[in-house]
Amino acid sequence: MPFTRTCLGTSLLLSLCPVPNANSDTNFTVAAPREEGFLEQFAATYRFGAGTPRGISITPDGAAVLFLRSGPRSVVQDLYELDAVTGAERVLLTADQILKGGAESLSVEEKARRERMRVSSRGIASYSLSKDGSTILVPLSGKLYLVDRASAKVREVGSGKGFPIDPRFSEDGSKIGCVRDGDLHVIDVATGNEIRLTSRADENIEYGVAEFVAAEEMDRREGYWFSPDGTNIAFTVVDTTGLERFTIADPVNPERPATTWAYPRPGKANAKVGLMLSPVALGPAVPVQWDHAKYPYLVSVKWPKNAPLTIVVSNRAQTEQVIYAVSDSGSVSELLTEKDSAWVEIRQSVPRWLGDGSGFLWITESSGWPELEWRDKSGTKVSTLAGEAIGFRGIIDVDDQSGDVYVSASKDPTESHVWRVPTTTRNAPQPLTVDPGQHGMSFSKNHQTWVRSSSTADGRRAWVVGRNEPSRPDRIAPEIKCVAEKPPFMPKPEWITVRAGDRVFHAYVLRPRDFDGKKKYPVIDSVYAGPTANVVAKSPWGQLLNQWIADHGFIVVGLDNRGTELRGRDWARAWKTRSGNPKGDLIDIALADHADGIQALVKQYPEMDGARVGVYGWSFGGYFSAMAAMRRPDVFRAACAGAPVAAWEDYDTTYTERYLGLPQDNPEGYRNSSVLTWAKDLSVPFLLVHGTADDNVYFMHSLKMADAMFRAGRHFEFLVLPGFTHMVPDPVVTRSLYSRIADFFVTSLGGPK
């Protein structure tokens, strides 16, 4: 359920909240427990995320770094440029300069797109840099603007009607693409002229967009791709005929029109997605001809220089992916087929063609661990470049000049490091980061300049700009400034492993700051538990809110159960490979691991009161919390469930069917995984929270759950968030919500004894 990556639930559980500049990160005061004013500051600063650099990109020559940044209590971002040598920064553009004080407007479609991307920023929310680095494309309030980097002069381009969705430069920088009202448009950069490439005649058909499940579950948010020279374009044709329509109304403002979306439920119709090839100059379009019946999912599309247009498609069961090279006529030739009896992981970083077109990089888990393969242009394997020996995870970037591949890797699943892996020599992979914590890097096209982002276990965080300058080894590297407010305290979680039978879990323990070793404390399991997201990461910045909750007299813990990532194929696919139901369910494995893990922690730490354990989470974590309360009240004595799935038949096809298959093929798995099956068994205090405008986990889930509990005579509390989606960014609501959650657990579990 990838929707949890940056939603409210990960603020509760995992989010690595951006933080102040590393030069002063360690200067925190130790304040009294239940810090007065913390929640107000946490909410007003958008979880201490406002004021941190985002959207970092480096100019092709490596001379400058562009980034977005807001004020410390604002989501309105401005565009900045930093000199990579001197560290001097300047404001390139603000939304106010363009709008001249006017209010920014967003279309319903753009709001939905940002929801898919978990973006709540306003102002300059995104930008694109031209290939030569001289021009910046900025979409703002339904219009498109080009900014000259040298002079900062701005000009509006495009003349089409309708809000421009997903505007982007072509690879050569001569064209701009965008989608307006379901049609694909192309703008000539030199003249500003705009043409419409498609003519939408049916409201069920859109061109150049990513369908819901592609954007939400496949990480593919694009629906069109220019050829390297900008003369041709490939674009999707998305047909939602036959899909159910879900409607979201505003119950607080019933006079406002409702919004309606096509939604694919498990076992029912998906959107039909095709791919067309067309000249940009309004020539005839031809369809790409693969077996749509066998492979209905268009997973990814690549159109690199010196290589063919390349697509990855998948069967509906997601057990098979095929890479095709596409000819100018639309015919396809197979390069590689990847299979897995459970599911093939979707990775948008591959296939990654080498710059000379001689071959491509691919990631396989056929050995039981992700491995980076080098394959020639026919798809034949040349060699394995990285794998379990370094804890390989994914590709960051490729230097086509040196042949080096920069990857994310770590043998420790609680850390993330950057490694350099050579392809043209027999040299061993080399780690580029070593401090315990979370690290990432981005590079200029010539790989002479890079930005390293770090959030380390000791509480430091920084965005350091580096340059490969052998003649100046002592040069002080500049940093991208962070203007975020400092939290009043820094959590100090204890990162541990805990054994339960033959299973070893990575976990953390977070105690109150006035902890008294002579007392016993109630325990709260801060949970996600679902696939795709780990909660145990060596960075204390993700634990600020949990620390505040712990300071109410709790010990907050978290653990990564089977089914989470970063421990190899079998661990991640335990949902299907080790469940009692051979077709899989989504709860038994995770519930057993958390119940057993909590009990093992209680035995290991005498200060934990095993008779008073609560659980809370959002999204999949909310689903898990509900099931924990209903099925394991012997362990979990209170639960708070935020935006939970109630019945998987009501969630989307791609996510649900990956783990459960089709409902008609696995009725027992769906029944066992449904909260509605177990609602009658609720016997502990339970708080249910949901936003009425959620278009990911629809509000109907909590309504059905509440109805089932009510009809069974169960007692529960239901907190409705009117008008909120799967994200809850509003500071006032954030403050009130967490106060309510903390009070619920204080009332339900009591305090230290």
Active site residues: 619, 694, 726
Indicate the residue type of 563: G
Indicate the residue type of 341: S
Contact in structure between 286 and 330 (CB atoms under 8 Å): yes
- Residue 259 β-bridge partners: 248
Indicate the Cα dihedral angle 156, 151, 56, 231, nearest 10°: 50
- Cis-peptide, bond into residue 685, ω within 30° of zero: no
Buried-state track 169-180, b at ≥16 Cβ within 10 A, e below 16: bbbbbbbbbbbb
Cα separations (Å) of 403 from 215, 359, 423, 429, 566? 31, 12, 5, 12, 26
Which DSSP string do the residues of 687-732 spell out, in sequence order? EEEEETT-TTTTTHHHHHHHHHHHHTT---EEEEETT--S----HH
Ordered alpha helix ranges (H), 433-573: 544-550, 569-572
Three-state SS at 231: coil
Q: What is residue 117's DSSP assignment?
A: H
Strands 205-207 and 232-239: what pairing? antiparallel
Three-state SS at 544: helix
Question: Chain-centre distance of CA 73, in angstroms?
Answer: 23
Compute the distance between CA of residue 329 and CA of residue 286 in angstroms, rounded to an integer: 7
Compute the distance between CA of residue 632 and CA of residue 615 in angstroms, rounded to an integer: 11
First to last CA, the chain: 38
Compute the distance between CA of residue 112 and CA of residue 102 in angstroms, rounded to an integer: 23
Helix (H) / strand (E) containing 745: helix 731-749
Tokens 């993700």 found at: 542
Helix (H) / strand (E) containing 594: helix 588-604
Compute the distance between CA of residue 309 and CA of residue 332 in angstroms, rounded to an integer: 10
Contact in structure between 621 and 607 (CB atoms under 8 Å): no
Q: How many CB atoms lie within 10 A of CB 357?
A: 13
Q: What is residue 351's DSSP assignment?
A: S
| CA atoms lying within 13 Å on the CB side of residue 185 | 24
Cα separations (Å) of 202 from 113, 199, 296, 468? 21, 9, 21, 54
Q: Compute the chain's Rg from CA coordinates.
A: 25
- Residue 164 β-bridge partners: 180
Q: Where are the beta strands (DSSP E) in 24-148?
A: 54-58, 64-69, 76-83, 89-93, 122-123, 128-129, 135-140, 143-148
Which DSSP string do the residues of 595-631 spell out, in sequence order? HHHHHHHHHH-TTEEEEEEEEEEETHHHHHHHHHHHH
Indicate the Cα dihedral angle 644, 649, 653, 658, nearest 10°: 80
Three-state SS at 177: strand
Q: What contacts 71, CB < 8 A, 6 or more positions away?
A: 50, 51, 483
Indicate the residue type of 281: A
Question: Chain-centre distance of CA 443, in angstroms?
Answer: 21
